[in-house]
Amino acid sequence: MSNVNEYKDIVAYHPGYYIADIIEDMEISQAEFATRMGTTAKTLSQLINGQANISNDLAKKLSAMLGTSVEVWQNLQNTYDRKLIEIQQAKDVDAQAELAKKIDYKYFVDVIGLPIARSINEKVANLCKYFKVADLRIMLQPDFLVNFRSSASCNNEKNIINSRAWIQTAINISKSIETKPYNAERLKGYLPELRGMTVKKPEEFLPRMREIFAECGVAFVLLPHLKNSGVNGAVKWVSEDRVVLAMNNRGLDADKFWFSLFHEIKHVLQQKIKTVFISSTVEEMKDINDKLEIEADKFAMNYLIPPADYKRLAPTKYTSDDEIVEFAKSIGIHPGIVAGRLQHEGIIAQNRCSKLKEKYVIEIKHIA
Nearest-angstrom CA–CA distance, 153 and 266: 31
pLDDT at 353: 80
Task: Verify that 110 and 228 share a domain, yes or no.
Answer: no
CB 88 within 8 A of CB 27: no
pLDDT tens-place string over residues 83-120: 999 999 888 888 899 899 999 999 999 999 999 999 99
pLDDT tens-place string over residues 29-85: 999 999 999 999 999 999 999 999 999 999 999 999 999 999 999 999 999 999 999
pLDDT at 366 over 70: no
Instruction: Kindly state whether residue 78 falls inside one of the protein's structural domains.
Output: yes
pLDDT tens-place string over residues 123-170: 999 999 999 999 999 999 887 886 554 344 444 889 889 999 999 999
DSSP annotation string for 279-301: EESSGGGSBS-HHHHHHHHHHHH
Nearest-angstrom CA–CA distance, 256 and 283: 18
pLDDT at 276: 81
pLDDT at 355 over 70: yes
pLDDT at 154: 41
Instruction: Kindly state whether residue 16 falls inside one of the protein's structural domains.
Output: yes
Task: Verify that 187 and 319 share a domain, yes or no.
Answer: yes
Domain count, the chain: 3
Task: Verify that 148 and 166 share a domain, yes or no.
Answer: no
pLDDT at 192 over 50: yes
Task: Verify that 110 and 65 share a domain, yes or no.
Answer: no
Query: Strand runs (DSSP E) across 38-154, as ranges?
Result: none
DSSP 8-state code for residue 333: S
pLDDT at 186: 97
Reduced to 3 states, what is the DSSP secondary structure of residue 219?
A: strand
pLDDT at 283: 52
CA 251 to chain centre: 21
Task: Verify that 106 and 167 share a domain, yes or no.
Answer: no
pLDDT at 200 over 80: yes
Nearest-angstrom CA–CA distance, 99 and 86: 20
Containing structural domain, residue 327:
159-356
Task: Verify that 242 and 182 share a domain, yes or no.
Answer: yes
Percentage of the residues of the chain whose pLDDT score is greater than 70: 93
pLDDT at 155: 45
Q: What are the start-end ranges of the H helices in 197-345?
A: 202-215, 254-270, 290-304, 307-313, 321-331, 335-344
pLDDT at 279: 76
Nearest-angstrom CA–CA distance, 353 and 307: 21
Mean predicted lDDT score pLDDT of the chain: 89
